[in-house]
A = this chain, B = another copy of it.
Amino acid sequence: MTLFAVSWVMSCVDLPEARKFANSNVMKLPNDGTSRVVVSAVRPDIDAGAYAAKRVVGDHFVVEADVFCDGHDVVRCMAAYRRTRDRRWTEVEMEDLGNDVRRASFPLDEIGPWEYTVHAWVDHFAGLRNGLEKKIAAEQDVSIELLVAADLVLATAERAKGKDATKLNEFGRKLGSPGFEYPDKLGMVLSESLFELIEKYPDRSRETSYARVLPLWVDRERAGFSAWYELFPRSTAEQPGKHGTFRDCIKRLPYVAGLGFDVLYLPPIHPIGNTFRKGPNNSLTPSAKDPGSPWAIGSPKGGHTAIEPQLGDEDDFKALVDAALQHKMEIALDIAFQCSPDHPWVKEHPDWFVIRPDGSVQYAENPPKKYQDIYPLNFESSDWKELWQALLGVFLYWINLGVKIFRVDNPHTKAFGFWQWAIAEIRKEHPEVIFLAEAFTRPKVMQHLAKVGYTHSYTYFTWRNTAAELQQYLTELTTTEMAEYFRPNFWPNTPDILHEDLQVGGVPAFKARLVLAATLSSNYGIYGPTYELCVNTPREAGSEEYLDSEKYQIRHWNLDDSRSIAPYITAVNQLRRENAALHTTTGVRFHQSDNDQLLAYSKFDEHSANLVLVIVNFDYQYQQSGWIEFDPQTFGFDSESHFVVYDLLTDHGYRWQPGWNYVELDPKTNPAHIFRVVVPSELND
């Protein structure tokens, strides 16, 4: 783009997009000139209300705003919220935190779309009451103030109903009547009973509302806490060399459930194309029996709504979905919107692809690389509406078969506008559906996919390999605006990514990266059985590809291999379920360590007072020791001279003091501590 760097200027007539805004800033005399309160900076507010904040059912949603008024009047402030489908709003009083900041929170008891905003107004009675107290303390005469109070009470009576109105009228008359004694009037005006009655019928005729009503999306619980396991169904046959089936997968369920995972994610299960089919290790010369890549979708047997016959049929698939539910697991499908040259759409809808001047269909390429086995869809097609509907139909087809979780392949190579529309469409009928964006690309693109609706996002976790890098990355994910809409899903490996750490770090690296993924993020996953078997041979040196990758060939795994870390994974997933502190990502807090090979962080669940402290050794070769600063008082526990940290992996307990404590971790035996922190008050029971 350097050519454009030299800025050139052109003159042109109005652009329609801009026209509609022109002169939008010319002031007219407002209708509500006497509305004196300012409601600003309501948060969260993502891109001026364009995108929804995300929460999980059961969360308490916290809203803040900057609210103030000219002068010294008292301002009352309400957060208003509702499920979008509701006619009625519910309001909750916003607490004054000082410095003109207000805060309220409300419970989210249903999944789906919600909305919220803020309203505020001047509370003259509260202001009068404050002044009255000061004047009385200064022994000033307040008889006129009492008459003002009387007027305000009578005005309130007109807004009140039934018994309240009667009461208020009575109060008002008494305050106004000479007969009623001065001290009694004072007592009445300052009484809580009158005040609460008045606050119940505020004068909101001059209320100010925030400029926008803001969207909020509430997901089901599994969107907030989940453990994913990816496997290739065709590699699940008991007999080596045989093509695995959905029935084989069913037999594998007890094993995966036993490991403690609750989402079983399958790469594409559709018929695989023959044209330019890839052989082992991505070779261009496959033999007849090579199954090809599941991501080369479509053959004469069908496309995105068909099943590869060798895996089974629709009934087999439904049986798998149901069996998974028996094991408290869900099946997640891989949706990859790209076509092999043999995909039915190529003939039926050539206008959904880019046709080149020679009549051929444009294949995928990243010059000089060519991917002739893949035809990308053309999101600039004049027939885009049909295309969008067809792609939406793919999701609906599998939802209809009981799939509620989708991992979407390379969403960043399809139009953002399509995702925003499709996800919203699906959620109208199916708010429970979860979408994971497999986008390993630039930060702003990944953020935007989350904004347009993706429930989960793949991250840079795999490439954050030092304690400092991970602390910095988690700080970005959990303390910036990203925390409102971007839900990370951490993966130590995928069929595409065997990181060098695992290649050279061996078992300690596999254990450490698992602990990091499972405890830093409340949503994480592994690609198995390669992970528990610590498979770590790359296709060639310097490559992140697996040797003899399952992407191109069927593999047979010996799950009983004595070197399997399955028991370790089982333990981690179990303690993860049992400790509520690990059920959120945003709560992570880092603690000082005097050894930069040791990363220490904690999570806390206030409701259950569950406090977990994790310490990971990033040196996969040698023992590392150091001092970690930690104090339970930070979390509101009583000051104590000592407390106990109990290692949930090794069953050892250690007696610690608030402040600096010594740890040593030998990667050969155990590369990480996962401590439950037990403070004495707790020990007693």
Q: Which residues of A contact B (CB under 8 A)?
A: 1, 3-15, 17-18, 21-27, 29-30, 32-36, 38, 40-41, 47-50, 52, 66, 68, 70-72, 74, 76, 80, 84, 87-96, 99-100, 104-106, 113, 115, 117, 119, 122, 130-132, 134-135, 137-138, 140, 144, 147-148, 150-151, 192, 195, 199, 206-207, 209, 211-213, 215, 356-358, 360, 365-368, 376, 379-381, 384-385, 388, 412-418, 420-421, 424-425, 442-445, 448
Contact = CB atoms under 8 A, between A and B. Distances in A.
A7 B90 CA distance: 12
A1 B96 contact: yes
20 contacts: A7-B92, A7-B104, A11-B88, A15-B207, A18-B117, A21-B117, A22-B84, A24-B49, A26-B84, A26-B424, A29-B421, A36-B416, A38-B416, A40-B448, A48-B48, A70-B415, A71-B413, A100-B442, A122-B380, A144-B356
Contact of A9 (B12, B91, B122, B379): B91
B367 A135 contact: yes
Number of copies: 2
Nearest to A389: B29
Given A25-B52, A33-B385, 12 more contacts: A3-B192, A7-B92, A9-B106, A11-B91, A12-B88, A14-B89, A21-B213, A22-B213, A29-B421, A33-B421, A34-B381, A137-B368
Nearest to A427: B27
A207 B115 CA distance: 31
Contacts of A106: 9
A40 B30 CA distance: 30
A206 to B, nearest CB: 7
B95 A5 contact: yes
- Smallest CB-CB A-B distances: 4 pairs: A17-B209, A138-B368, A21-B213, A147-B357
Contacts of A12: 88-89, 91
A139 B316 CA distance: 49
A6 B92 CA distance: 10
Given A68-B442, A211-B50, A379-B70, A415 B25 contact: no
Nearest to A202: B10
A142 to B, nearest CB: 10
Contact of A413 (B27, B70, B88): B70
